[in-house]
């Protein structure tokens, strides 16, 4: 099934996307599926301008304040040329825009493209009026070292590859020590821990395991989600695994 079906998106849905491993790609996918409606895309932290056909982009406070939503995809935020990203609008302006759109997709988290993260107390930044919090995760870091910086490794160059954004918070959340192997249990703590991915969630909670492209990945994702369901039986509305690239998902 497709993500838009399994996430139960209807008119008036306000969806915050958090986590590591495909947030922007999922937002682009969903925006494109609902492009016949008034679709608002905006960051509550930072995000790159989307590479999607027919998008309307507004980059200044005045443009965003004065913008009248139209059918189609509109991405609004404050352009920061030094970072090359759109940054969050003041909440009162965002809330006003949300009330005038059919579907709102908020990139509410940042992981610098890394597969693991620890969260500060004010992260993710999920507005209270969100109807969905969708967390996305991959299993790409399993078996790799919990490191934040690329370090020298003799004649092999700079190894191991950076895996974690906000390492001190990640270690506190998972109980790992720096350089230890990232386990399934550590990823479960990252996702489900009291100070983890969903700590500031609002609305219905959905967990997606992304980058599941073959049978081996499917087996690993099912095992991961089954354990999550057993340990946290009432935490999530739905547990899904699949591929944003293919827009093909299954429910655990």
Q: What is the pLDDT of residues 67-89, one digit of tens each?
A: 999 999 999 999 999 999 999 99
Q: What is the pLDDT averaged over residues 115-135? A: 97
C-beta separation of 78 from 87 below 8 A: yes
pLDDT band at 186; cut points 50, 70, 90 = very high
- Judged against a pLDDT cut of 60, whether residue 157 lies above it is answered with no
pLDDT at site 51: 85
Q: Which of 62-71, 157-166, 174-183 has the lowest mean pLDDT?
A: 157-166
- Judged against a pLDDT cut of 60, whether residue 252 lies above it is answered with yes
- Judged against a pLDDT cut of 90, whether residue 149 lies above it is answered with no
Q: What's the total number of domains in the chain? A: 1
Please, what is the average pLDDT of the chain? 94
pLDDT at site 160: 57
Q: Which of 99-113, 116-130, 131-145, 155-169 has the lowest mean pLDDT?
A: 155-169
Q: How far is CA 53 from CA 2, 38, 50, in A?
A: 20, 15, 9
pLDDT band at 148; cut points 50, 70, 90 = confident
Q: The domain that contains 95 carries what CATH number?
A: 3.40.50
C-beta separation of 55 from 27 below 8 A: no
Q: What is the pLDDT averaged over residues 195-215? A: 97
C-beta separation of 139 from 217 below 8 A: yes
pLDDT at site 161: 73
Distance CA 249, CA 33 (A): 15
- Judged against a pLDDT cut of 90, whether residue 159 lies above it is answered with no
Q: Domain limits at 61?
A: 3-251
- Burial of residue 33 (CB within 10 Å: 0-12, 13-18, 19+) is middle
- Judged against a pLDDT cut of 90, whether residue 189 lies above it is answered with yes
pLDDT band at 162; cut points 50, 70, 90 = confident
Q: What is the pLDDT averaged over residues 28-51? A: 96
- What does pTM read for this prediction? 0.94
């Amino acid at each position: 099934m497709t993500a838009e079906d399994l996430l139960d998106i209807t008119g008036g849905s306000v969806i915050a996307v958090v986590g590591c491993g495909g947030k922007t790609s999922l937002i682009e996918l969903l925006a494109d599926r609902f492009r016949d409606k008034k679709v608002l895309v905006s960051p509550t932290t930072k995000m790159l301008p989307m590479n999607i056909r027919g998008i309307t982009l507004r980059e200044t406070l005045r443009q965003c304040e004065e913008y009248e939503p139209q059918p189609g995809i509109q991405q609004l935020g404050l352009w920061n040329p030094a970072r090359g990203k759109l940054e969050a609008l003041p909440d009162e302006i965002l809330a006003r825009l949300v009330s005038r759109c059919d579907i709102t997709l908020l990139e509410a988290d940042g992981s610098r493209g890394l597969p693991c993260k620890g969260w500060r107390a004010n992260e993710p930044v999920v507005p209270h009026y969100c109807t969905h919090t969708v967390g996305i995760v991959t299993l790409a870091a399993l078996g790799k070292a919990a490191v934040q910086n690329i370090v020298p490794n003799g004649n092999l160059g700079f190894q191991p590859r950076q895996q974690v954004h906000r390492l001190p918070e990640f270690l506190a959340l998972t109980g790992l020590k720096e350089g230890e192997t990232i386990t399934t249990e550590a990823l479960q703590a990252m996702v489900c821990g009291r100070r983890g991915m969903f700590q500031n969630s609002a609305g219905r909670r959905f967990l997606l395991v992304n980058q599941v492209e073959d049978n081996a990945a499917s087996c690993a994702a099912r095992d991961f989600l089954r354990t999550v369901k057993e340990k946290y039986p009432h935490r999530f509305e739905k547990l899904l695994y699949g591929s944003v690239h293919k827009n093909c998902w299954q429910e655990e």
